[in-house]
Amino acid sequence: MTTVLFATCRAVPSFTPSDALAAAALSARGLTVRSAIWDSTEPRDLDAGTVVVMRSVWDYHLHADRFRGWITGLEHRRFRVFNSPALSRWNMDKGYLRDLRRGKIETLPTSFVPKGERTTLAHELGALGAIEAVVKPAISASAHDTWRTSLAAVADDEARFTALLARGAVLVQEYTHTIESEGEWSLVFLAGRFSHAVRKRPKAGDFRVQREHGGTATLERAPAAVIAAASRVLDALDEVPLFARVDGIEIGGRFTLMELECLDPELFFELVPHAAESFAAALVAAI
């Protein structure tokens, strides 16, 4: 009997409500499903034939080098891993947005600043031609160390920017108020096929749409043009992910990519339970 291990983290050691539905659907198909905290699970200790699925590994950004080593260890021992180690490593660093932009995917104007670069926040805003921007680490999750700045506030924010840049590469991304008025689309794809869409909105006065920051998520019907644009993002990849979430906003009627989540996205199965069945079917087929 195949064992499927959902990799988690210390803050969320067991199944999320969404993943519990997926685990139940897999169990109904005869698979043994369990959860395990990724950095308490050595690849050498796993049973041969275990299938590892990246789920709530939501602290990887705090231990990036160790996490890379862990997934490489899984790869070297030839475990089946979803999504693949190569895709996961690429998706860890938001520099992937630069790769997608080169592939003609529309993204927000962004400056990618290497770790330790001798620059200023004022210079980066000027280079973008932006009045307002969002600053974030290139490796981050759940809006960790992500904050908003502007030309009016840049003098006060320079020290914070310098400190962030000393720790790692940084993205400075033009800010759009669309996120406050319209929210952000999250389009979920399973085995390359569109499954469902969620509209995420920040709480009043904020721009972060994550639930831990007061954001909300509701199941909504996405326009055909938005689904088509999100599909083109996946078409730009070298492989078809078992699961992926394409996050973006509509600006002037055009879909603009914010993030592509192929490592550990929340898939919102609790809002559309039948999608958990589709996930299970896709994983069984992949195995």
Predicted pLDDT of residue 38 = 98
Predicted pLDDT of residue 211 = 77
Predicted pLDDT of residue 5 = 98
Tokens 């973008």 belong to: 128
Could you report the per-residue pLDDT of 172-185, keeping only the tens digit for each? 999 998 888 889 99
Predicted pLDDT of residue 155 = 93
Q: Stretch 130-154: mean pLDDT, rounded?
A: 91
The span from the CA of 151 to the CA of 136, in Å, is 17
Could you report the per-residue pLDDT of 23-55, keeping only the tens digit for each? 999 999 999 999 999 999 999 999 999 999 999
Predicted pLDDT of residue 76 = 95
Q: Terminal CA-to-CA distance of the chain, rounded, Å?
A: 12
Could you report the per-residue pLDDT of 98-108, keeping only the tens digit for each? 999 999 999 99
Q: Which two tokens stand for residue 276?
A: 């958990």
Please state, for a pLDDT cut of 90, what percent of the chain lies above it: 87
The whole model's pTM is what? Answer: 0.94
If pLDDT is split at 50, 70 and 90, which confidence band does 60 have? very high
Does residue 1 surpass a pLDDT of 80?
A: no
Predicted pLDDT of residue 163 = 95
Predicted pLDDT of residue 269 = 98
Could you report the per-residue pLDDT of 238-261, keeping only the tens digit for each? 999 999 999 999 988 899 999 999
What residues contact residue 286 under an 8 Å CB cut-off, 6+ apart?
80, 82, 191, 242
Q: What is the DSSP pairing of strand 51-54 with strand 3-8?
A: parallel
Mean pLDDT of the chain: 94
Does residue 149 surpass a pLDDT of 80?
A: yes
Does residue 204 surpass a pLDDT of 90?
A: no
The span from the CA of 145 to the CA of 137, in Å, is 7
Predicted pLDDT of residue 206 = 77
Does residue 154 surpass a pLDDT of 80?
A: yes
Does residue 203 surpass a pLDDT of 90?
A: no
Phi, psi of 174 (to 5 degrees): -55, 135
Predicted pLDDT of residue 263 = 97
